[in-house]
Structure 1
């Protein structure tokens, strides 16, 4: 298959047929297993008898100068240009009936051929120069032997055609002619040809998208935009002279170039900007289709010609200078990126792939005090997805927009306690937090400590009247703070307390069952609700009631029966029971039970173990502190908890900070640790005041969440979010302004008036400033038809503002001083003057104008008023 091959071509409408030509024309068909072999051998396959079958050979044509396969899908046809100027249609049939040839009037070489892709019957023929004949002929091959009817167009008298190509979208022929210009000929209309002067007239080739045209001369490549060919958009210079160039058939942005005596194919990947006529960005690549081996005293492999496959991505046949042919596929560049849903996406050729990301369990500090995490299990199992996927799913389920604020915790179980406490604070109509309610914390170091204001009360154990009393502290602020913490019962009513405990167990168990029904460790989590209820009962000195609650919980968790049995041995004396309880504290896994026995066995009347028990919700610990700590200790504890919550990003700390500056710092800390901008933005919009919404950090959170919704295309959720923002913080309304514009140049006249007003503000003169022409174009300004003053004249208005100080801006005129025009005769003037005129007249105030301006749009009312003419 080496032979004397000059060029080769794929048949455009056949995926497995190609031709080679030199002294003869050969038709080949690749075998079915070629594709598999190409994949197995990576990208290179040598074309031989094992990989391709010779179907036909055409030897009738001598001195072939050029060959062009047609785009016909029903037959194998190609045009053959000869040295004597004749052009034959070859279909590899030996019958004389199929021997159709075009013969020019004057014999000279046929230089180039080009078939139209859509109208497959049109063949453009280019010849060398002859002063008595045209160099370009458009032949309708379906009309048989060339004659007057089959020759559709003739171009270029006494000129030379160096190269030809068609615009497949339009019936436009592009030709490089006479070493001096490119010509675009539109065959649809008898319009003059478009000509652009250039020496780059060889190898004219149009990209498959029909936008870019490439041509060359020597070692210079010129790139054109076919829509505006008057000026080239790019010029590139190569190291050596160019042998051939062609566009990839399947990728319109890839231009291939073969240089003289080079073993490489130069590929130019064009990345076009959005604007037409702008130079595209180019990425250069080098491809060596033949394996390079350089033995001693051997000639280097050089490339002669390539032909791009019509359908396979960046696949071509390459012809070496020695006649060797190989089937080669360009290695595809792989582009990788992350999509908005955090999936890894990549493109190989024209194929796009998506790899679903493997989620990693992040950590959320808020889970430490969430009541859903009370079984001693790690909170990491709450997260099995990336935070972006979690935010996306929540947004689709109207997270943060539910009417019942606490229900938002169902969509974010690790934040259930946060939404519950926010709902309770909203119910109490107090969002400033415990620190403000108790006035127990100040960021000002110079602020004196609070004055003691709480009442110290000694209370007895409910079931042990003879036992020692317990010291508690009471005040209106403390009572209100405990309600914010969720202790909403009346302490003076035993029935109210019992109802609170019963409701707590019933509601919480139901909620927990719905939230964790798919978990494997359900019983310990349910039992925690009974242990919490028992703990609150002990905090209020009701030991027997706590034992009763544990007995009810024993139906679900038998271990609670043993706890109730141990609690029944409670004693105030330093007995064996107290010693065993203190020893066993570190071995108790349930945090509520640890706190319960620590409360019953305090060390020097200290409640540090209870207050530092992180397994108990922050609301219960704060309510306990409001009940048992004195003012100074309560102040210190609140300060400590604010610091801890801010450092750990625990949103339960909003119970203390409230929606204040400290609350913003807490939200920012949570965001830094979790990247959950959705929760931060929704809490801000729902609970922050209007003043805090203008905080720079809050505005950034809101803008980030909006951008996130836009990236995902969640337009409905974005609109609802904006509606909520508009209801809370409506957009400011700006004062409407009217400016004077010149009717000729369209520039502002008001700008000049404002400058004059500023310069005259310090002057004592109150004379009207007269402006007769436009400051920009000097055309006269319209005059009032009645007072004859130009538009923009100040009319003697004072430049002093009501305070008596000079105004450095132009004061807005009342509407009566504005200009108005008739839409019919175009005459006009000050509105005040026109109103006075038309109250007594019907016709236009301009002399010789009979237009009834005032009555064009409105009928004249029937009045008894006398009209003065």
Structure 2
């Protein structure tokens, strides 16, 4: 086997050739069951050998006729300089007499490169070694015979295997006493060819006048000259360890130089992707890819940037050559020193674009783009947008905002804000200056000095004569306030407790209702609640068993019931059932298992602590719980912190954990006092505003600003709509310039002593536009009426008005009178139907 192995895709999409000591033709097919696999190319493709051509020895270069649809015609460059036209067996070219034909130079020397013209497809060019006074670049037209030329071409034999054939004289030749190393035709100009010559320059030659060099540059990078098939303004070549990329319009120096650690042996542009150049280094098992990004600033093209990438087709041996597929995107073949052929597709870097509306689009090859709308994403941004469209956070009755969201924690927060605000309004939480005080704010207990009263209740009070122990309950005015904030405002009122528990039963929260009944020492009521649980509810069948277990309650430490429940409670999955039996089986008033049960809601745990913990332990527990909830960003912690600095810290942690800038901003605006609007809250508000603007939710943004102005009057939006001067662009509003009566001279002020009117720009003094009806310069009064009220709104007839289509207008009173009788613009030669394009034309004030 020759030490040189080459591979090349043919114009027929599923066929390729390899050549070294012989030329082989293969056909590629997708793997299928029960199909013979000759050569495995990849996990999905294989190849079968179709034909072998052994007629040529010492092949130096080869190119395939570019218009081959069914049969292949090869131009084979040999070591003696001849170009042999060859095929694989009988073809359509036989009738043209092309197979076996040879194109022979005057003097024998090695052929370095052969190249078909992709436009004038009958032209083939050959680049030869140097020979004294002979040309090194010869271009033939294979359709012309020697009868049309002089006898200087001679009678030449094709080869030892075929009879003599008369050959045509080259249609062009140049490069006297030079060596042609490589060449490439321009893809948009069939007469122009680039040739790397003599190890010192690259020349552009127009074959219509080959003695005149169109353009050239001095460089040793004369090897592998190849034109970008998608843009022949760019050309690449290499020398030793460097690849050079040239701009054919400015050919003095390369626009890009790519350095390698090893000598380069081949380069090739990808025909299916713009500006993608592949290269192969000597003794390498990877293909180097360069995605060249050309950048234009103004009218000038700056130095391109390059995205480099290496791909390993999978062969452990050194790669000898590679070839890009002509039509399949980013697909190439490689051939290794061992003869292994690999079919490889380069997966593109995904160009991902995320629209402000949360729609995602990305490239999928050259011709396809894939798209995902925001529906399947369902991330926090999608939820924020859906909630904004539903008016979330803007409901006048604050608890209704919780009905919009499908998040239990957010729903609980809005309900608690409504409850705490109502308690403050009703005067039940007197002594606090906060609109929404937390438990820590109303519970002003000194941990070092127990002020709470405690009561010991006998279990016998529960109607069980076998219970001799007591239950210790703590009472204090501040504890009662805290219980109100937790919705446990029963105050030993059985009717309120019953109503609360009935509501929980309607919500099918049977275990929670039973637990609250037990905590309020109503065991019989808890048994009834569990017994009423229907079978179709979760734990329905087992809740009746729990009711029976609860009916056997006794506080006797040695009783079987207590011993069994102490052990069995850990196997319960429902947190409220676990809390019930932990409470009933506790010893020495140790309620840690109830207080630390995370499945029990925060308000229930806090209310339980307010009933059963002494002052010092209550203070410590609430502090620990508050710190934990703040750290987690759990908004249930607002029950403890209220709307203070700890509440701001809690909101920030919630924002960090969820990204829900909407709820963070809305809760801050609706619940926190204005004096606490720090830079942090202002930043939340600004971010939410910008988000609504990004989504172009203008109405929602306006409603938010209106709501904000009611809670934060100091944040008055600046004037955003005003009449500006055509010349300088500044506002002509007299109010903005402080224009009042008696303030001194002002440009072009006219009117009576009681009503000032300006008709020119107060900044540049240019006259204002004329009214289309009265032809007087338009102007507006300052608002200073006869009564001296400078804040009086000017009369509507004196306002400016203009058509949003043709931009013509005048005084409101004049324009209103005109359009009472006409629909067309009053300006001569303007055909705008101003009145008909006005969507509120029927509402014009008369």
Using the size of structure 2 for normalisation, the TM-score is: 0.56
* Cα distance in structure 2, aligned partners of 1:628 and 1:487: 14
Deviation at 1:687, TM superposition (A): 1.2
Question: Which residue of 194, 200, 207 maps to 2:221?
Answer: 200
* Cα distance in structure 2, aligned partners of 1:6 and 1:603: 88
Aligned equivalent of 2:12: 13
Asked if the contact 2:633–2:651 (Cα under 8 Å) also holds between the matched residues in 1, the reply is: yes
Matched, 1:425 2:414: no
* Cα distance in structure 2, aligned partners of 1:177 and 1:17: 27
Aligned equivalent of 1:344: none
Aligned equivalent of 2:483: 482
Matched, 1:652 2:652: no
Closer/same/farther in 2, CA of residues 462 and 66 from structure 1, 3 Å limit = closer
Q: Secondary structure at the match of 1:688?
A: helix
Asked if the contact 1:44–1:327 (Cα under 8 Å) also holds between the matched residues in 2, the reply is: no
* Cα distance in structure 1, aligned partners of 2:312 and 2:462: 92
Asked if the contact 1:171–1:187 (Cα under 8 Å) also holds between the matched residues in 2, the reply is: no
Deviation at 1:418, TM superposition (A): 6.1
Aligned equivalent of 1:77: 73
Matched, 1:643 2:669: no
Deviations 1:285-336 (A, max 9, x none): 89997969xxxxxxxxxx9876666569442346x7xxxx824338889999
Matched, 1:552 2:532: yes
Aligned equivalent of 2:829: none
Aligned equivalent of 2:256: 234
Aligned equivalent of 2:668: 688
Aligned equivalent of 2:762: 816
Aligned equivalent of 2:155: none
Asked if the contact 1:258–1:305 (Cα under 8 Å) also holds between the matched residues in 2, the reply is: no
1:591-630 mapped onto 2 (5 Å cutoff): 592=576, 616-626=600-610
Deviation at 1:502, TM superposition (A): 1.1
Aligned equivalent of 1:316: 334
* Cα distance in structure 2, aligned partners of 1:288 and 1:500: 71
1:201-350 mapped onto 2 (5 Å cutoff): 201-207=222-228, 210=231, 213-217=235-239, 221-225=243-247, 229-235=251-257, 245-247=267-269, 253-257=276-280, 264=284, 267-273=287-293, 275=295, 277-278=303-304, 280=306, 282=308, 313-317=331-335, 326-329=339-342
* Cα distance in structure 2, aligned partners of 1:174 and 1:63: 26
Q: Which moved more, 1:416-425 or 1:35-44?
A: 35-44
Aligned equivalent of 1:375: none
Closer/same/farther in 2, CA of residues 212 and 285 from structure 1, 3 Å limit = farther
Deviations 1:525-561 (A, max 9, x none): x5x13422422542xxx55544543443497422244
Deviations 1:417-472 (A, max 9, x none): 5642442323543774423640538xxxxxx9899998999999998899999866
Asked if the contact 1:473–1:628 (Cα under 8 Å) also holds between the matched residues in 2, the reply is: no
Q: Secondary structure at the match of 1:654?
A: helix
Asked if the contact 1:139–1:146 (Cα under 8 Å) also holds between the matched residues in 2, the reply is: no
Aligned equivalent of 2:475: 473
Deviation at 1:70, TM superposition (A): 1.4
Q: Secondary structure at the match of 1:508?
A: coil
* Cα distance in structure 1, aligned partners of 2:303 and 2:350: 29
Matched, 1:163 2:182: yes
Asked if the contact 1:405–1:420 (Cα under 8 Å) also holds between the matched residues in 2, the reply is: no
Q: Which moved more, 1:394-403 or 1:460-469?
A: 460-469
Q: Secondary structure at the match of 2:290?
A: strand
Q: Which moved more, 1:152-161 or 1:543-552?
A: 152-161
Matched, 1:562 2:548: yes
Deviation at 1:486, TM superposition (A): 2.5
* Cα distance in structure 2, aligned partners of 1:406 and 1:449: 36
Give the unaligned 5+ runs of structure 1.
293-302, 342-346, 353-387, 442-447, 510-525, 570-574, 737-742, 744-784, 787-813, 824-830, 832-855, 863-869
Closer/same/farther in 2, CA of residues 287 and 205 from structure 1, 3 Å limit = same
Matched, 1:435 2:458: no
Deviations 1:143-197 (A, max 9, x none): 888979x999968687965532134467684412554543457999xx9945444
Q: Secondary structure at the match of 1:68?
A: strand
* Cα distance in structure 2, aligned partners of 1:389 and 1:99: 66
* Cα distance in structure 2, aligned partners of 1:645 and 1:544: 34
Question: Which residue of 191, 194, 197 maps to 1:175?
Answer: 194
Matched, 1:535 2:556: no
Asked if the contact 1:677–1:701 (Cα under 8 Å) also holds between the matched residues in 2, the reply is: no
* Cα distance in structure 2, aligned partners of 1:425 and 1:38: 74
* Cα distance in structure 2, aligned partners of 1:554 and 1:219: 82
* Cα distance in structure 2, aligned partners of 1:677 and 1:499: 36
Asked if the contact 1:400–1:682 (Cα under 8 Å) also holds between the matched residues in 2, the reply is: no
Q: Secondary structure at the match of 1:685?
A: helix
Closer/same/farther in 2, CA of residues 80 and 406 from structure 1, 3 Å limit = same
Structure with larger RCO (C-alpha < 8 A, sep 6+): 1
Asked if the contact 1:204–1:216 (Cα under 8 Å) also holds between the matched residues in 2, the reply is: yes
Aligned equivalent of 1:677: 658
Give the unaligned 5+ runs of structure 2.
150-167, 296-301, 355-362, 369-376, 393-399, 423-434, 710-714, 721-726, 728-746, 749-759, 770-776, 778-806, 815-846
* Cα distance in structure 2, aligned partners of 1:408 and 1:145: 90
How well do the aligned residues superpose, as a CA RMSD in angstroms? Answer: 6.8
Deviations 1:364-402 (A, max 9, x none): xxxxxxxxxxxxxxxxxxxxxxxx987689679759978
Asked if the contact 1:186–1:193 (Cα under 8 Å) also holds between the matched residues in 2, the reply is: yes
Asked if the contact 2:662–2:688 (Cα under 8 Å) also holds between the matched residues in 1, the reply is: no
Aligned equivalent of 2:504: 504
Deviation at 1:69, TM superposition (A): 1.1
Q: Secondary structure at the match of 2:303?
A: coil
* Cα distance in structure 2, aligned partners of 1:549 and 1:471: 24
* Cα distance in structure 2, aligned partners of 1:436 and 1:576: 37
Closer/same/farther in 2, CA of residues 469 and 648 from structure 1, 3 Å limit = closer
Deviation at 1:505, TM superposition (A): 0.9
Closer/same/farther in 2, CA of residues 821 and 268 from structure 1, 3 Å limit = farther
Aligned equivalent of 1:358: none
Closer/same/farther in 2, CA of residues 451 and 859 from structure 1, 3 Å limit = same
* Cα distance in structure 2, aligned partners of 1:38 and 1:480: 84
Closer/same/farther in 2, CA of residues 821 and 141 from structure 1, 3 Å limit = farther
Deviation at 1:658, TM superposition (A): 2.8
Deviations 1:663-691 (A, max 9, x none): 344456678xxx84245x45423312477
Question: Which residue of 648, 657, 662 maps to 2:646?
Answer: 662
Asked if the contact 1:126–1:162 (Cα under 8 Å) also holds between the matched residues in 2, the reply is: yes
Aligned residue-pair number: 645
Q: Which moved more, 1:271-280 or 1:152-161?
A: 152-161
* Cα distance in structure 2, aligned partners of 1:240 and 1:402: 65
Q: Secondary structure at the match of 1:268?
A: strand
Deviation at 1:204, TM superposition (A): 0.7
Asked if the contact 1:245–1:258 (Cα under 8 Å) also holds between the matched residues in 2, the reply is: no
